[in-house]
Amino acid sequence: MFKSGSEKFIYVMHILHVLNILERKMVSITLAVSKELKEEMDKHPEFNWSEVARQAIKERLESTLLLEKMDEILKNSKLTEKDAIMLGRKINKGLMKRYKEAHKWKSS
């Protein structure tokens, strides 16, 4: 039935994926990729490409929601872009100082 162990692995992973969908009551979406990308993906059957796509979508949504929340919080802010850059630089300097002090302490 299977030509190789990797085909059997892919089949088992597909069955587990279907069971996972049924258990979580997930919906399916169709994703189109270029022929070249699909050929490269096929070279790596060890990856669950559905999970890779699911995680990428989840991360993009989480970052989008975070930006939306930040926009909501900052909509009445009087902070200018110049002020924000200066504040960011001060924070970065403080973090670098703390990092250097911690690193010096560890290496002593």
- Paired tokens of 79: 């902070």
Cα dihedral 28, 34, 35, 41, rounded to 10, equals: -60
Q: Domain residues for 96?
A: 79-108
How many angstroms separate the first and last alpha carbons of the chain?
62
45, part of any domain: no
Q: Could you count the other beta carbons within 10 Å of the beta carbon of residue 13?
A: 16
Quote the CA–CA distance of 35 and 33 in Å, as a whole number.
7
Q: Is the pLDDT of residue 107 over 80?
A: no
The pLDDT, as a whole number, for residue 10 is 73
**Number of domains the chain contains:** 1
| pLDDT at site 59 | 94
Higher pLDDT, 56 or 102: 56
Q: Would 99 be classed as within a structural domain?
A: yes
**Does residue 72 belong to any structural domain of this protein?**
no
Looking at residue 70, its pLDDT comes to: 87
29 within a domain of the structure (yes/no): no
pLDDT tens figures, 11-69: 777 777 777 666 677 778 888 999 999 999 999 999 999 999 989 999 999 999 999 99
Q: Is residue 34 part of a domain?
A: no
Farthest CA pair distance, the chain: 68
Q: Is residue 98 part of a domain?
A: yes
Q: What is the mean pLDDT of residues 6-13?
A: 71
Give the confidence band of 81 by pLDDT, cuts at 50, 70, 90: confident
